Amino acid sequence: MPQVRANGLTLEYDSVGEGPAILLVSGLGVPMTRWAEPFCERLAGQGFRVIRFDNRDVGLSTHLHGAPVPDFAALAAAVARGERPAVPYTLDDMAADTVGLFDALGIERAHLAGRSMGGMIAQLVAAGHPHRVLSLAAIMSSTGNPALPQAAPTVMAALARPAPDPAADEAGFLAHSAAFARLIAGPGFPFDEAAHRAQALAEARQSRDPAGFARQIAAIAATGDLRPRLARITAPTLVVHGADDPLVPPAAGRDIAANIPGTELMIIDGMGHDLPPPLHGPVADAILHNMRRTKSLWT
């Protein structure tokens, strides 16, 4: 896959299709390949250039190996005191990476979709650079509002539990990964454990960086509440959220919709914190519908 220099980093990306660009922003600790190829191809088939990329500290983009691993106790204490904690970077820096990718690829304006943490990054891009974002889709994401319901305790415990090192215990690593994927999956769709294990193994063999994962968690915590910025968003906005999301409860999606004027809200029964194959078509079609709300601005 090709690489570009953006915001002082090397970003790995790929694209499919031709036409106006839609940029897909990935979530916490996961590479671009979580945007499945059939999903990308469905969007591209409607006349768009679909671009996905690895965020910093993930996949084949730059990893900040020299940056410190956050002390989460100190981080939580600072946030509780209302202070901005010292972290290697925030989601604002990751939003600047995304804008840098626009620039490196010669894209003046694009449609933007983000999932989970990527949805928060996409909101920041749309708020900070409204002239460059044609439409916005935030999938299973949040505003960072501290008053929102938190993840279920069992989910938070599983998220914090270190995975076995796949180089030393591949079976244990895959069991851990599949168990967490099953925990956050929605009850309304089949869970393909074999596919999750294959995906986890491929990602680990490409690049595994627990410290980078921790830095991204710290970036979310340090960025805080996005709501004061969301009124600046002018792009037609779609929010997609699972009614059964145990990691980012659906109140978070409703909060995005409540804070961005004119947002279309799509709550999907049976959907958790994942995007299983049966939802590729409905979610892609909803994104395309939202993009067409800016038909006169496609180019």
**What pTM, to 2 d.p., does this model score?**
0.96
Q: Which residues of 154-172 are buried (b: 16+ CB within 10 A; e: fewer)?
A: ebeebbeeebeebeeeeee
Task: Kindly tell me if the per-residue pLDDT of 298 is higher than 60.
Answer: no
pLDDT value at position 295? 59
Strands (E), 142-263: 237-242
Compute the average pLDDT of residues 282-288.
Answer: 98
Nearest-angstrom CA–CA distance, 9 and 101: 10
Three-state secondary-structure class, residue 239:
strand
Compute the average pLDDT of residues 213-228.
Answer: 95
Tens digit of each residue's pLDDT (9 = 90 or more) over 8-67: 999 999 999 999 999 999 999 999 999 999 999 999 999 999 999 999 999 999 999 999
Report the candidate in 108, 104, 91 with the shortest Cα–Cα distance to residue 25.
91
Report the candidate in 187, 211, 186, 201 with the shortest Cα–Cα distance to residue 72.
211
Largest CA distance in the chain: 55
Q: Which whole-number Å values give the CA distances from 297 to 130, 134, 146, 203, 291, in the listed order? A: 13, 7, 35, 36, 9
Tens digit of each residue's pLDDT (9 = 90 or more) over 74-100: 877 777 777 778 899 999 999 999 999
With residue 198 as reference, give the H or E element that holds it. helix 193-206
- Name residue 70's amino acid: P
Compute the average pLDDT of residues 147-170.
Answer: 93
Which tokens belong to 37? 């190829």
With residue 49 as reference, give the H or E element that holds it. strand 49-53
Q: Is 37 left (phi over 0), alpha (psi -120 to 50) or beta?
A: alpha
Which tokens belong to 93? 């820096």
Task: Kindly tell me if the per-residue pLDDT of 296 is higher than 80.
Answer: no
Report the candidate in 155, 153, 171 with the shortest Cα–Cα distance to residue 163.
171
Tens digit of each residue's pLDDT (9 = 90 or more) over 225-242: 999 999 999 999 999 999
Of residues 83 and 156, the one with the higher pLDDT is 156
Tens digit of each residue's pLDDT (9 = 90 or more) over 245-257: 999 999 999 999 9
pLDDT value at position 52? 98
3-state secondary structure labels for all residues of the chain = CCEEEECCEEEEEEEECCCCEEEEECCCCCCHHHCCHHHHHHHHCCCCEEEEECCCCCCCCCCCCCCCCCCHHHHHHHHHCCCCCCCCCCHHHHHHHHHHHHHHCCCCCEEEEEECHHHHHHHHHHHHCHHHEEEEEEECCCCCCCCCCCCCHHHHHHHHCCCCCCCCCHHHHHHHHHHHHHHHCCCCCCCCHHHHHHHHHHHHHHCCCHHHHHHHHHHHHHHCCCHHHHCCCCCCEEEEEECCCCCCCHHHHHHHHHHCCCCEEEEECCCCCCCCHHHHHHHHHHHHHHHHHHHHHCC
Percent share of the chain, pLDDT over 90: 89
Report the candidate in 263, 219, 251, 15 with the shortest Cα–Cα distance to residue 117.
219
Mean pLDDT of the chain: 95
Which tokens belong to 261? 């004027």
pLDDT value at position 80? 73
